[in-house]
Structure 1
Amino acid sequence: MNEDKIIQWAQRLLGVAQCGLTYNHDNPYETERYHHIQALAAEMMAAVSDVSPERLLNLFTDESRNGYATPKVDVRGVVFKDERILLVKEHVTQRWTLPGGWVDVGDTPSLAVEREVFEESGYEVKARKLLIVADRNRHYPPSTFHIYKLFFLCELLGGSSVVSHETDEIGFFAEDSLPPLDEGRTSYAHLARCFEHYRQPQLAADFD
């Protein structure tokens, strides 16, 4: 059976369970059913990953405290210098990606991506244009949660290359000399689209 499909079904079950736990306050039997659905989703994901059902269930239980289930938002900064694109080498995976991360509560997407670029690379940037809104399920390997990825073209304002606790190296790369990518965070296909948007600024944002 297709592992990606199993992950997507588990994500949907999680959404049902989280919404049920958010809005059901009076019926303990319904609450118990929604907890069972959470546990089932954890078992499904564990069957196609190397994470235990118990650890996944703890993640899902923490997430269910956040209310109505919605996709998480990941932002990526697309920064060019002399027609080369900024990439950072992740400390954990030892592979390269566009700088970025989660949008915090209270952030605008543009402020989030500007902060993430600075924290991961040392460069000060200004978000200028939304290039891509991607449903992670359609373009990347399976993930525990449903995620939307937002890619912003950013203007380089200043700063200098500075590694962080998350990054080991920082560099600018030409399209024909890209390093090994962390394809769970940034795909070669999306980098190719970023270069196309850079060369053709009149292009509208990609979505889905």
Structure 2
Amino acid sequence: MTSESQASFNRRLDQARRLLALAQTGLHYTTGVFDKERYEEIAAIAHEQIAEIASLKTDEVAELFAFESGYANPKLDVRCAVFDDAGQILLVREAADGLWSLPGGWADVGLSPAENAAKEVREESGYTVEIVRLLAAWDTAKHPHPPSVFHIWKLVFLGTVQHSGERIGEETDAVGFFSPDDLPPLSLGRIMPEQIRRLDELRRGAGVDFD
């Protein structure tokens, strides 16, 4: 796909997501029967558009968004960058696709972003970490991730190992430390090689990268 085609693809996907967000927010606030019907029709059109753009079936898209209700917001992906004394970064292998990523996932209700990051590291790698600071707040739409039907914001925290233990989650099946310059195949929807190298730069300084 050429850069021009990619830009057009991303623009169409962004428009469809925004249309669906307007429909979802409208359904949350409306009390009128006719308005509800109109918003439901807009949502159905958005589902069709997203399905066409993402090469999915319309009912598959509808199922993905079935539990999305209330005022529409971006989804929050919280991850943790953990480095050892040699400057290698902790990665976990995703059981779903066999590719590697930073420990993390969707933020859970009831925990702060930092608590979510520490929990994900513990569950997916077995390591208990102390969260030191925020390294990055990224909008995945502004980075070369594969397109997603969701609008995702990503928070990445810096963590330091306190002690090791056993993995207690089932979402990952391997754990390892890797040089930022010699990474295994990454799950690019979750993290990009250039983002890992940027996180390595950030942990050496005092700044926060943000979109």
**What TM-score does the superposition give when structure 2 sets the normalisation length?**
0.91
1:163 CA drift (Å)? 7.0
Structure 2 unmatched runs, 5+: none
Q: After the TM superposition, which segments of 4 or more aligned residues of structure 1 sit over 4 Å from their partners?
A: none
Length, aligned pairs only: 203
- The DSSP-based 3-state class of the residue aligned with 1:104 is coil
1:161 CA drift (Å)? 5.7
* 1:93 aligned residue: 97
Q: Output one character per residue of 1:170-194: Cα deviation in whole Å (capped at 9) or x when no partner.
A: 0001122111111000111210111
* 2:158 aligned residue: 153
Contact 1:162 1:170 in 2 (8 A): no
The partner residue of 2:131 within 127, 132, 138 is 127
Structure 1 unmatched runs, 5+: none
* 2:59 aligned residue: 54
The partner residue of 1:19 within 25, 42, 56 is 25
CA distance in 2, matches of 1:58, 1:162: 30
Contact 1:163 1:170 in 2 (8 A): no
**What TM-score does the superposition give when structure 1 sets the normalisation length?**
0.93
The partner residue of 1:84 within 84, 88, 100 is 88
The partner residue of 2:112 within 108, 115, 129 is 108
CA distance in 2, matches of 1:116, 1:6: 33
* 1:188 aligned residue: 193
Matched residue type, 2:71:
Y
- The DSSP-based 3-state class of the residue aligned with 2:39 is helix
Contact 1:122 1:160 in 2 (8 A): yes
Q: Output one character per residue of 1:96-142: Cα deviation in whole Å (capped at 9) or x when no partner.
A: 10000011112100000000010000000111110100011111221
